[in-house]
Structure 1
Amino acid sequence: MDTTRNEALGAWMKEHGYSSNTLAEAVNRALEQLTGRTGGLDGSSVRDWKAGRVRWPKSATRRALEDVTGLPATALGFVPRGRTPSTPAAPQEDPDMKRRTLVGGIAVAVTAAAAAPGAAAPRRIGMSDVNRLQQRFAEIIASDHRHGGQLGIEQRAAELADEALNLQNAGSASQRVRSNLYACAAGFRSSAMWAAIDGRRYADAKAHMREAQALAEMSGDQAIKFRIWSHAGAMYRHMGRPADAFAANDVARNLHITRRDPMFASLGLARQAAIHGAAQDRTGARRALDQAQEAIQRANPDDYRPVWLLAFYDQAELHSLALSAHIALGDHPTAEYHAHRCLATLRPHMRRSHAITTTRLAHAQLAQGDLETATATAMQVPADAAMQHARVSRMLQEFGSALRATAPRSSIVQTWTAHTRDDWRATA
């Protein structure tokens, strides 16, 4: 039996500060959320993974591990049964390579240096180079779900987009490889765009969007086109421009990938519902949410999907978008219901989403007159998110203003003021 060490898992654990025992505990908790039964893993189970003695854990364990890390099992170095691990052999035009993206771990550096002038023979660029870029894309996705909206994430994603484009000039490559390089560059630009949207840097987001759209057209990749136009719809919704949001989201929803895969259709419809909410269209929002729910239930969980979709879109995110729609519509009891459902099913790595959902829940509770519960909820938002995440920070400032307007002289306002003064500033 091949027991090649799983270096990718070890690298992820080292980066995120997990020991074998603490990772086992985290996966056990995720298993309990998934199955209703506590997992039986311990430190020796994780050590077996790292040593390569277990190359493909059981399906429930894999899903729980993916929930904890925010990455597909293959990105963590696990190899499906019947396959052999990737090796650094010469690039081959393997027709199944697209289904094995991210294999080999998340800590491999991208080699994007152009060939030196006057070199005897140009370098051959292959799918192994594409895979290394996709590994870095997984890192960007994971960072976004941990921190969200940070300028550093935006800048790093933009740099990696440039590295992907540099590879186009670094040597010879097949058309298939070149199309994949453009798709990688478009993916990085779309992540830079989303970080700028999340950080409310809309002028920068639009600049990233224009470049991402051009790159996506050159790649011909339907999934990344969907991501870019769907992000554009979200951007215009946050900017208070629902007509533009509808137009952009419709481009995403009309791509043929939404007819082929109900998961893409569901995401497009859920975001459409949030736009209907911003436009004060109650009927449209409810219809789109019903359709999004029906589509996600039809989706085959075993179908291949890109890492960015796997990392965030599920039932919890659908509840999050429903929460956004109903908050905008002023239907605060329904918004509170979706907030609780979202928080109950949100995967552990979705820290940014947890902070946003908790803040929206506090707003829904305050709007219903439950000042004490709303304030207690708002105080659960981690101080780093409250201080460093632009969307969360603004929503909490709005919460404080609404609280003071509702009960200007109450002890609850004093409690909130002390919390923001002492707890938040301690992390500044």
Structure 2
Amino acid sequence: MDATQNEALTAWMDEHGYSSNTLAEAVNEAIERLSGRTGGLDGSSVRDWKAGRVRWPKSLTRAGLETVTGLPVTDLGFVPRGRTTPTPTPPQEDPDMKRRTLVGGVAATAAAAAAAPGIAAPRRIGMGDVQRLQSRFAEIIASDHRHGGQLGTEERATSLANEALTLQNAGSATQRVRSHLYASAAGFRSSAMWAAIDGRRYSEAITHMREAQTLAEMSGDQAIKFRIWSHAGTMYRHMGRPADALAANDVARGLHITRRDPLFASLGLARQGAILGVAQNRTGARLAFDQAQDAMDRATPDAHRPVWLVAFYDQAELDSLALSAYLSLGQHQTAEFHAHRCLSALRPHMRRSRAITTTRLAHAQLAQGDADTATATAISVPADAATQHARVTRMLQEFGAGLRATASNSSTVQIWTTHTREAWRTTA
């Protein structure tokens, strides 16, 4: 191999599974966390490093490299200007280097502990550990779509978040692995947050939100940051605080991932439309849903996206959010249209979403004066969802109150009363 080539960097990339393009992307993200500015590196930049054409990158790039790898750049084969050999040098007082992230500090602490005399070397934490956690994350997502709002889901997600954090102190790891562990912990906490929101346990949801936000910042993962702030917007919407909901959702929509991927932009806009419905902003809601549909139509179907996003956000979910908004706005015919379109497109595993949409459809039909059809729709909601899902239970109770108020002397009220007394009692 030519003596000018950077063998140390090439070996590190091979060991940790980085290509030139993926390393450039990781360093760009680290630079953005350190400086607030997006890095301008690409695969050719990394190839210049490997070939030795660039022997000493700029200071902020060096900081990004050290954040990603957890190693001094001199250990990666880079040579300070004026030197001819890649001899490791003492730490420099470069002001950019003082801007390390907390995650990098954790990595350094773990390395120091591993080197302490008399202490057994810790085991190596790798991407295999991360992948095992991610498979559990997929299980949590699936459980939520089947049942929704359950305390058991919230507790399992919290326990798995703690498990991810325990791994941080269980051994040595690269910066990439540590960032993934923090992202996994943030993901589990955001699932616990969502389960609490869905179960109307808002004080617990706020606690999970704050923990998830901290972990997401430590991970630097844009997708999980989006999920947490978007959930926060939904939480405040359900709490009847549209100003706070819009502020939280705007944080999600302001992340640069919404500019990279139209599907994230679409979800942010659709949730904005639902919030504007609660705020009684008809024009704003309609515009938001038009823009959400346009963004969804522009999204590349086969792009790589997080499991939590692809598991639920599609045309059916967009119509579900529109249904919610137009119900809030009192535009019941439009709400019914979106309800039927949502139900026709819902994937089989979305049992929770089907129960919510069916209940909202019953409300839209009742508001249009069709008590018989509305009652038949409400009766079709599965009894387990009607009695065990807090949001569905409350909406069906409100439906019953509305039915009695509008059709108090009809046989339809008796049919509904009998159904709730007999069918719900056996599953409660």
Please give the TM-score of this superposition, normalised by the length of structure 2.
0.74
1:108-257 correspondence to structure 2 within 5 Å: 120-257=120-257
How far residue 427 of structure 1 moved from its aligned partner, in angstroms, is: 1.3
Q: Which amino acid aligns with 1:187?
A: G
- Structure 2: give runs of 5+ residues left out of the alignment: 1-13, 23-109
Question: How many Å separate the matches in 1 of 2:15 and 2:311?
Answer: 28
Question: How many Å separate the matches in 1 of 2:18 and 2:193?
Answer: 31
Question: How many Å separate the matches in 1 of 2:334 and 2:315?
Answer: 16
1:131-188 CA distances to partner (integer Å, 9 max, x unpaired)? 0000000000000000000000000000000000000000000111100000000000
The answer to whether structure 1 residue 301 and structure 2 residue 306 are counterparts is no
The answer to whether structure 1 residue 314 and structure 2 residue 314 are counterparts is yes
Q: Which amino acid aligns with 1:93?
A: H
Instruction: Show the counterpart of 1:407.
Output: 407
Question: How many Å separate the matches in 2 of 1:126 and 1:333?
Answer: 54
Retained in 2: the 8 A contact 1:92–1:127? no
Question: How many Å separate the matches in 2 of 1:119 and 1:389?
Answer: 50
How far residue 119 of structure 1 moved from its aligned partner, in angstroms, is: 6.2
How far residue 232 of structure 1 moved from its aligned partner, in angstroms, is: 0.1
Question: How many Å separate the matches in 2 of 1:121 and 1:129?
Answer: 18
Q: Which amino acid aligns with 1:253?
A: R
Question: How many Å separate the matches in 2 of 1:148 and 1:173?
Answer: 35
Q: Which amino acid aligns with 1:272?
A: Q
Q: Which amino acid aligns with 1:129?
A: D
Question: How many Å separate the matches in 1 of 2:330 and 2:119?
Answer: 66
1:97-155 CA distances to partner (integer Å, 9 max, x unpaired)? 99xxxxxxxxxxxxxxx999976321000100000000000000000000000000000
Question: How many Å separate the matches in 2 of 1:119 and 1:155?
Answer: 34
Question: How many Å separate the matches in 2 of 1:94 and 1:375?
Answer: 58
Question: How many Å separate the matches in 1 of 2:17 and 2:359?
Answer: 47
- Partner of 1:188: helix, strand, or coil? helix
Q: Which amino acid aligns with 2:410?
A: S
Q: Which amino acid aligns with 1:256?
A: H
Q: Which amino acid aligns with 2:161?
A: A
1:97-116 correspondence to structure 2 within 5 Å: none
Identity %: 78
Q: Which amino acid aligns with 1:406?
A: T
The answer to whether structure 1 residue 383 and structure 2 residue 383 are counterparts is yes
Question: How many Å separate the matches in 1 of 2:253 and 2:18?
Answer: 28
- Partner of 1:427: helix, strand, or coil? coil
How far residue 95 of structure 1 moved from its aligned partner, in angstroms, is: 2.9
1:254-277 CA distances to partner (integer Å, 9 max, x unpaired)? 000000000000000000000000
Q: Which amino acid aligns with 1:174?
A: T
Question: How many Å separate the matches in 2 of 1:209 and 1:270?
Answer: 21
- Partner of 2:240: helix, strand, or coil? coil
Instruction: Show the counterpart of 2:27.
Output: none
- Structure 1: give runs of 5+ residues left out of the alignment: 1-90, 99-113
The answer to whether structure 1 residue 95 and structure 2 residue 18 are counterparts is yes
Number of corresponding residues: 323
- Partner of 1:130: helix, strand, or coil? helix
In structure 2, relative to structure 1, the CA distance for the partners of 1:416 and 1:165 (3 Å cut) is: same
Question: How many Å separate the matches in 2 of 1:120 and 1:426?
Answer: 58
How far residue 93 of structure 1 moved from its aligned partner, in angstroms, is: 1.4
1:181-205 CA distances to partner (integer Å, 9 max, x unpaired)? 0000000000000000000000000
Question: How many Å separate the matches in 2 of 1:331 and 1:95?
Answer: 52
Question: How many Å separate the matches in 2 of 1:230 and 1:250?
Answer: 8
Aligned-pair Cα RMSD in Å: 1.9
- Partner of 1:148: helix, strand, or coil? coil
Question: How many Å separate the matches in 1 of 2:367 and 2:281?
Answer: 20
Retained in 2: the 8 A contact 1:359–1:377? yes
By relative contact order (CA 8 Å, sep 6+), the higher-ranking structure is 1
1:342-369 CA distances to partner (integer Å, 9 max, x unpaired)? 0000000000000000000000000000
Instruction: Show the counterpart of 2:61.
Output: none
Question: How many Å separate the matches in 1 of 2:290 and 2:154?
Answer: 34
Q: Which amino acid aligns with 1:287?
A: L
Question: How many Å separate the matches in 1 of 2:367 and 2:296?
Answer: 31
Please give the TM-score of this superposition, normalised by the length of structure 1.
0.74
Q: In terms of Rg, which structure is larger?
A: 2
1:34-53 correspondence to structure 2 within 5 Å: none
Instruction: Show the counterpart of 1:419.
Output: 419
